[in-house]
C-alpha cells in the first residue's frame, strides 16, 4: 500500500476556492496510485471564525481564567470543523472520505495540556478506511491522553501530526501545503534576490525552522528524518514543486540566511568577579521552569544569554524574585547562516565576521553548531546584515 500524508495549513483552507484546490491535490495522488491520509489545521488565521486564535479569544473574552484542560478541548474544535468541511469538499469530487479526531486516529499523548508529546500511534481506524478506499481526514494538532483527555500538541502541532502518522503508517511521502512556495534562501520581504530552495537536507531544514523559517515545525522534520521519509513543503498553486527535504549531501557550505527579531537579551552582573555560582544559580532556576536559553556567554564581569519572547516576562519575574542585578533588552536580532556543507570549514566564521565588519554591523555574540552560525546584532541593523550575508555567500 503506497501511503502519502498530505497536510494542509489553515491558510490553504480558508476559503471554498482554496479548499477545492487542496482537494484537487488529494485527487491527483489517488490517480497516481497513492492512498492519501489528509491532515488539516484550523481554517484561516486570527479573525477567521474558526481559527484557533479566534476560538481562544472567544473564551478569554468571557473569562480570562481558563483551565488547561478546557483550553485544549476548545482549541481542538477548529481542526475538527476543518476536517469535516474538507470531507464534504472531497465528497464533491467523487471521493469517499471520513473525519477522524486525533483520538480516533490513534494518537496517544503524555497528557501534558497545551504542549503534549506523542507517546505512540495506534492507526487501526486509518488502516481500515484505507483498505475500503476511504480517504481519512485527520484533525491535526491534537491527540488523547491515556486518561482519556483531549490534548493539543503546541505550536506547529499539525505538522507533527502529519509526521507521526507517516512514521506509524510507513508512508512513502509527506506533503506539507501552506501559503508559501517552500523554503527560501532568505526572507523575500527583506532580500529581493531570495530564491526557492529546490532541495534541502533534513539537518538544514531543522536548523532553518529553529532559527526562524516558520514554514514547518522542526519536530516534524526530525520525525521524518528518523524514519527516512521524504518531506515536501509547497503551496497549493498548480505547478509549484516546492522544497524537497531528504537525505542529501550539500555541495554548498551555506544554503540560507535566517533572521529573528523578537529576541530578549539578558545581562546579569555578579556581585563579585569570577563568581560562577551566580551563573549556576540562574540557569538552575530557569531550567526548573523549562525556560530555554541560547547565546550563553559567561565572563568574570557579566553573564549574558537570550530567551524567547514568550518566556520574557517569566524570566524577568524570576530574576527579580531572586534579587539578581540584571538588564533585559529587546532591541536585538539573531541572524543565522545555515548550511550542512559548513562542517569542518572554519573559514565560514571568518567570512561572516568579515562581511558584517565591512558593513559596519556590530556582533554582540555568536553561537554555532555543525550546520549553523548565529550572530546577535542590533535590531536596526538586521535587514542590512541579512542582505550582506546573502550577497556575500552568493546565495542569489
pTM of the model: 0.87
8 A C-beta contact, residue 137 and residue 97: yes
Q: Does domain 3-179 have CATH number 3.40.1160.10?
A: yes
pLDDT for residue 215: 82
8 A C-beta contact, residue 4 and residue 172: yes
Per-residue pLDDT of the chain (396 residues; tens, 9 = 90+): 999 999 999 989 999 999 999 999 999 999 999 999 999 999 977 777 878 788 888 888 888 888 999 999 998 999 999 999 999 999 999 999 999 999 999 999 998 998 899 999 999 999 999 999 999 999 999 999 999 999 999 878 999 999 999 999 999 999 999 888 899 999 989 999 999 999 999 988 888 887 666 788 889 999 999 999 999 999 998 777 899 999 887 677 899 999 988 788 999 988 776 666 777 788 999 998 889 888 888 888 888 999 988 889 999 999 999 989 999 988 899 999 999 878 778 889 999 999 999 999 999 888 888 889 999 999 999 999 999 999 999 987
Helices (H), ranges, the chain: 16-31, 52-62, 68-92, 124-131, 157-169, 202-211, 218-226, 276-288, 312-321, 347-358, 382-392
Could you give the C-alpha distances from 270 to 292, 296, 306, in angstroms and in order? 21, 15, 17
Residues of the chain with CATH 3.40.1160.10: 3-179
- C-alpha cell belonging to residue 320: 527579580
Question: What is the CATH architecture of 256-392?
Answer: 2-Layer Sandwich (3.30)
Task: For 206, list phi and psi in degrees, rounded to 5.
Answer: -60, -50
pLDDT for residue 243: 94
Taking the C-alpha atoms of residue 25 and residue 3, their distance in angstroms, rounded to an integer, is: 14
Element holding 8 (H helix, E strand): strand 3-8
pLDDT for residue 77: 93
8 A C-beta contact, residue 249 and residue 202: no
What DSSP character marks residue 185?
S
pLDDT for residue 211: 64
Strand 97-100 to 135-139 pairing:
parallel
Residues of the chain with CATH 3.30.2130.10: 256-392
pLDDT for residue 37: 98
Amino acid at each position: 500500500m503506497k501511503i502519502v500524508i498530505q497536510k494542509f495549513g489553515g491558510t490553504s483552507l480558508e476559503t471554498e476556492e482554496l479548499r477545492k484546490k487542496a482537494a484537487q491535490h488529494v485527487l491527483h495522488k489517488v490517480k497516481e496510485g497513492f492512498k492519501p491520509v489528509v491532515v488539516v489545521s484550523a481554517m484561516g488565521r486570527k479573525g477567521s471564525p474558526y481559527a484557533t486564535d479566534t476560538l481562544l479569544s472567544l473564551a478569554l473574552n468571557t473569562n480570562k481564567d481558563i483551565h488547561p484542560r478546557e483550553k485544549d478541548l476548545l482549541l481542538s474544535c477548529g481542526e475538527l470543523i476543518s476536517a469535516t468541511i474538507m470531507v464534504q469538499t472531497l465528497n464533491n469530487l467523487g471521493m469517499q472520505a471520513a473525519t477522524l479526531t486525533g483520538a480516533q486516529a490513534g494518537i496517544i499523548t503524555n497528557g501534558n495540556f497545551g504542549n503534549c508529546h506523542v507517546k505512540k500511534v495506534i492507526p487501526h481506524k486509518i488502516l481500515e478506511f484505507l483498505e475500503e478506499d476511504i480517504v481519512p481526514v485527520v484533525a491535526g494538532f491534537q491527540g488523547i491522553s491515556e486518561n482519556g483527555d483531549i490534548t493539543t500538541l503546541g505550536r506547529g502541532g499539525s505538522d507533527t501530526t502529519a509526521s507521526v502518522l507517516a512514521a506509524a503508517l510507513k508512508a512513502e511521502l509527506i506533503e506539507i501545503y501552506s501559503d508559501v512556495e517552500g523554503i527560501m534562501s532568505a526572507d523575500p520581504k527583506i532580500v529581493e534576490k531570495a530564491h526557492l530552495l529546490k532541495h534541502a537536507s533534513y539537518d538544514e531544514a531543522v536548523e532553518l525552522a529553529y532559527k526562524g523559517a516558520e514554514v514547518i515545525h522542526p519536530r516534524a522534520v526530525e520525525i521524518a528524518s528518523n524514519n527516512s521519509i521524504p518531506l515536501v513543503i509547497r503551496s497549493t498553486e498548480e505547478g509549484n514543486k516546492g522544497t524537497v527535504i531528504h537525505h542529501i549531501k550539500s555541495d554548498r557550505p551555506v544554503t540560507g540566511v535566517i533572521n529573528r527579531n523578537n529576541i530578549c537579551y539578558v545581562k546579569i552582573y555578579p556581585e563579585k568577579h569570577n563568581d560562577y555560582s551566580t551563573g549556576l544559580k540562574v540557569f538552575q532556576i530557569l531550567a526548573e521552569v523549562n525556560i530555554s536559553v541560547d547565546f550563553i556567554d559567561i565572563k568574570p564581569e557579566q553573564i549574558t544569554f537570550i530567551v524567547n519572547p514568550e518566556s520574557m516576562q517569566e524570566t524577568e519575574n524570576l530574576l527579580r524574585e531572586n534579587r539578581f542585578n540584571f538588564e533585559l533588552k529587546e532591541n536585538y536580532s539573531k541572524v543565522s547562516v545555515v548550511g550542512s556543507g559548513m562542517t569542518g570549514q572554519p573559514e565560514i566564521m571568518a567570512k561572516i565576521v568579515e562581511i558584517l565588519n565591512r558593513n559596519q554591523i556590530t556582533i554582540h555574540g555568536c553561537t554555532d553548531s555543525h550546520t549553523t552560525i548565529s550572530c546577535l546584532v542590533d535590531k536596526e541593523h538586521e535587514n542590512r546584515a541579512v542582505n550582506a550575508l546573502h550577497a556575500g555567500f552568493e546565495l542569489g
